[in-house]
Amino acid sequence: MSTLFSLAEEIRRCTSCPLWKKRTLAVPGDGNSKTKIMFVGEAPGVEEDRQGLPFVGKSGKFLNEMLNLVDLNRKDLFITGAVKCRPENNRVPSAKELQTCKELWLDKQIGLIKPELIVILGNSALKSLLKKTKLSELHGKIIMGNNQKYFVTYHPAAGMRFPKIKEEMKKDFLKLKSFVNLLY
Ligand code: SF4
Q: Which CATH number belongs to the domain containing residue 99 in this structure?
A: 3.40.470.10
Ligand 1 pocket mutation pick from 105, 108, 124, 128 by most atoms within 8 angstroms of CB? 105
Nearest CA to ligand 1 atom 4: 17
Q: How far is the CA of 13 from the centre of ligand 1 (A)?
A: 9
Residue 158: pLDDT band with limits 50, 70, 90: very high
Residue 1: pLDDT band with limits 50, 70, 90: confident
Q: How many domains does the chain have?
A: 1
Q: Which DSSP letter does residue 72 get?
A: -
Scored b (16 or more CB within 10 A) or e, 60-88 reads bebbbbbbeebebebeebbbbbbbbbbbe
Supply φ then ψ for residue 145, to 5 degrees: -170, 145
How many angstroms separate the CA atoms of 40 and 128, rounded? 10
- pLDDT tens for residues 104-138? 999 999 999 999 999 999 999 999 999 999 999 99
Ligand 1 pocket mutation pick from 9, 19, 91 by most atoms within 8 angstroms of CB? 19
Query: Across residues 144-159, what is the average pLDDT?
Result: 96
Sign, CA torsion 13/88/130/62: positive
How many angstroms separate the CA atoms of 52 and 30, rounded? 9
Note down the domain range covering 177: 4-183
